[in-house]
Amino acid sequence: MFDNLRTRLSKIFKKLKGEAFLSEKNIEEALKEVRIALLEADVNYRVVREFLTLTREKALGKRVLNSVSPAQQFIKIVHEELVKILGEQATGLLTAPVPPSIYMLVGIQGSGKTTTCAKLGLILKNKGRKVLLAATDTQRPAAREQLKMLGEKIGVPTFTEGRTPLEIALSALKTSRKLGCNVVLLDTQGRLQVEEELMKELEVMRDRIKPTEILLVADAMTGQEAVNIASTFNERLSLDGIILTKVDSDARGGAALSMRMVTGCPIKFIGTGEKIQDMEAFYPDRIASRILGMGDIVTLVEKAEAVESEEDERMLKRLKANEFNLEDFLLYLQKMKSMGPLSKLLDYLPVEQKVRDIGLDDKHYKRVEAIILSMTREERAEPRIIDGSRKKRIARGSGTSVQQVNQLLKQFQFAKKRMKEMVKYGHLIKRKGWLPKLG
Ligand SMILES: Nc1nc2c(ncn2[C@@H]2O[C@H](COP(=O)(O)OP(=O)(O)O)[C@@H](O)[C@H]2O)c(=O)[nH]1
Ligand SMILES: [Mg+2]
């Protein structure tokens, strides 16, 4: 996600690092490169122009500070302006004063409506809402079946009976009252492109159903095309929000960065994978941090909190007391794994590209686990005692080489250091909303 832009920006910031202060000249130079980076990321040109104007104004007006570097100062400004174009505040879903809340998901074919319906259903179900899915796509032969299967997967009922989309939607509403559901998610049919017939049908459905919110599901991979589609849908249906899907497969990020300013509609969620859990609420500030390669520590902390147990508390204490050992490391890795694929988690961490490359990917995980499990308890608790002959024994026991054991020990030291920083930063970022010592 945003990989290209992140790499480009980090190069620009690196260049600024050598400067003594922010001058008109180095600001202009940096901005010129930021402009190219944004255009290459397929960001709408009007958004780019606006962004540069605001950033320039702010950067030129900045007092020279002694305690931070020009790169840090510049990153902070870019961060603030990115947050602005992404929509500033996170926007949740409106709840209807009288249940059920009805969310109508619209969009063109293949954008991810049906999948998103189930993902959203799961999020709302986990918040304690009683959800009913309604499959109104009568066009695609297996569409209703697809939603039904997804409904079963997340453990919520799916309504599919009726001849026409409107008939299905109306009956679904009745059924939701009967079942005591307070949320109805309407999956609608799409077309390969924006077509008059579809728009009319959706307008009729909107007028009859009176949804609490109409949400456009748009495919991030289609870049500016997604933005154009959003504009058209917005003109006809007056959207309440956008759910951007397939953000995981979109290295550029142009749709995410242009959507809000061009359409005026907030992005409410992003789809980050094909699995049913792969969706998250959209937080402009966290996304901006990810784009800047600062890592999204707040999200990471929250994800960690979601699987938190007493064990974690103990681990955190040990980390603070500098007692964190290989056994904790293994537990930590297992925990990370339960939060999702390790490679994905790296997106949230403030690590450099080269660390990402050698880092904790899923392939390494099995080997790491085997090595640690081949150690004695004593060795895990006190890694310092692992000398040459112990390393040989561990390598033999785990089917690895001494070199790989060495590598793991190094990784462990590195992770320990990193985690201590994260704990520190995690608290700071919650308190101050900003990462210290950047750049
Ligand atoms: N990688 C990825 N794939 C997605 C995401 N959302 C949907 N998809 C895939 O996109 C395809 C079309 O999704 P579907 O829900 O059937 O689209 P619909 O025609 O709009 O209902 C399916 O293969 C989904 O698995 C996402 O966030 N990430
Ligand atoms: Mg569908």
Q: Kindly report, residue by residue over 122-138, the tens digit of the pLDDT.
A: 999 999 999 999 999 99
Specify whether the CB–CB gap between 383 and 329 falls below 8 A. Answer: no
- Distance of CA 203 from the midpoint of ligand 2 (Å): 18
Structure tokens of 404? 């790989």
From the list 76, 80, 81, the residue with the least C-alpha distance to 48 is 81
Does the pLDDT of residue 416 top 80, yes or no?
Answer: no
Q: Kindly list the domain boundaries of the chain, sorted by start residue.
A: 3-86, 101-282, 297-432
CB atoms within 10 A of CB 307: 11
Please provide residue 214's backbone torsions phi and psi, each rounded to the nearest 5 degrees: -105, 120
101-282 folds as: Rossmann fold (3.40.50)
pLDDT of residue 311: 56
- Which residue lies with its CA nearest to atom 26 of ligand 1? 246
User: Ligand 2 center to residue 147 CA distance, Å?
Assistant: 8
More reliable by pLDDT, 145 or 330: 145
End-to-end CA distance of the chain: 21
Which CATH superfamily is 3-86 part of? SRP54, nucleotide-binding domain (1.20.120.140)
Phi, psi for residue 254 in degrees, rounded to 5: -60, -40
Of all protein residues, whose CA lies closest to atom 17 belonging to ligand 1? 112
Give me the pLDDT at residue 362, please.
Answer: 64
Q: Which of 140, 222, 245 to mutate to test the pocket of ligand 1 (most atoms within 8 A of CB)?
A: 245
How would you class 4 by CB atoms within 10 Å of its CB: exposed for 0-12, middle for 13-18, buried for 19 or more? middle
For residue 100, cis peptide bond before it (omega within 30 degrees of 0): yes
In single-letter form, the type of residue at position 407 comes to Q
pLDDT attached to residue 356:
45
Kindly identify the ligand whose nearest atom is closest to the C-alpha of 143: 2
Closest protein CA for atom 4 of ligand 1: 274
- pLDDT tier at 422, thresholds 50, 70, 90: low
Specify the amino acid at residue 203: E
Ligand 1 environment, Cβ below 6 A: 107, 109-115, 190, 245-246, 248-249, 271-274, 278
- Does residue 261 contact residue 236 with C-beta atoms inside 8 Å? no
Q: How far is the CA of 183 from the centre of ligand 1 (A)?
A: 22
Assess whether pLDDT exceeds 80 at residue 203: yes
**pLDDT for 150:** 97
Which CATH architecture group holds 297-432? Answer: Orthogonal Bundle (1.10)
Q: Cα–Cα distances in Å, from 116 out to 85, 230, 264, 337?
A: 24, 16, 22, 24
C-alpha 116 to ligand 2 mean position (Å): 9
Q: Is residue 212 predicted with pLDDT exceeding 90?
A: yes
The span from the CA of 360 to the CA of 410, in Å, is 12
Rounded to whole angstroms, the Cα distance separating 390 from 394 reads 6
Q: Is 171 exposed, middle or buried (0-12, 13-18, 19+ CB in 10 A)?
A: middle
DSSP annotation of 247 reads G
Average pLDDT over residues 249-253: 90
**Ligand minimally distant from the alpha carbon of residue 108:** 1
Q: If you compute the radius of gyration of the chain from its CA atoms, what whole number of angstroms results?
A: 25
* Dihedral-angle region of residue 341 (phi above 0 means left; psi in -120 to 50 means alpha; beta otherwise): beta
Q: What's the whole-number mean pLDDT along residues 239-262? A: 95
What is the pLDDT, as a whole number, of residue 432?
Answer: 37
pLDDT digits (tens, 9 = 90+) for 38-97: 999 999 999 999 999 999 998 887 666 555 667 777 888 888 899 999 999 899 999 999
Mean pLDDT computed over 172-197 = 92
Residue 187, H or E segment: strand 183-187
Distance CA 318, CA 326 (A): 12
SS3 category, 352: coil
CA distance 48 to 55: 10
Max Cα distance, the chain (Å):
77
What's the rounded mean pLDDT across residues 97-120?
Answer: 96
Q: What is the pTM of this model?
A: 0.72
User: What's the mean per-residue pLDDT of the chain?
Assistant: 84
Residue 410, pLDDT score: 86
Bridge-based pairing of strands 183-187 and 101-106 is: parallel
| Cα distance between residue 153 and residue 122, in whole Å | 9
Predicted local distance difference test score (pLDDT) of residue 310: 53
Which residue has the CA at smallest separation from atom 10 of ligand 1? 112
Report the alpha-carbon distance of residue 348 to residue 290 in Å, rounded: 7
Looking at the CA of residue 279, tell me the nearest atom of ligand 1. 27
% the chain with pLDDT above 70 = 81
For ligand 1, mutation pick of 122, 153, 269, 274 (most atoms within 8 Å of CB): 274
Q: What is the pLDDT of residues 277-302, one digit of tens each?
A: 999 999 998 889 888 876 554 555 45
Cα 282 to ligand 2 centre (Å)? 22
pLDDT band at 407 (very low <50, low <70, confident <90, very high): confident
Q: Which of 165-174, 178-187, 311-320, 429-438 has the lowest mean pLDDT?
A: 429-438
| pLDDT given for residue 176 in this prediction | 97
* pLDDT, tens digit (0-9, with 9 covering 90-100), for 316-369: 677 667 777 888 777 767 766 665 555 455 555 544 444 444 445 666 778 888
pLDDT at 141: 79
* Structure confidence at residue 72 (pLDDT): 73
Q: What is the pLDDT of residue 436?
A: 32
For the segment 9-38, the average pLDDT, to the nearest whole number, is 86
Conformation bin of residue 399: beta by default, left when phi > 0, alpha when psi is -120 to 50: left
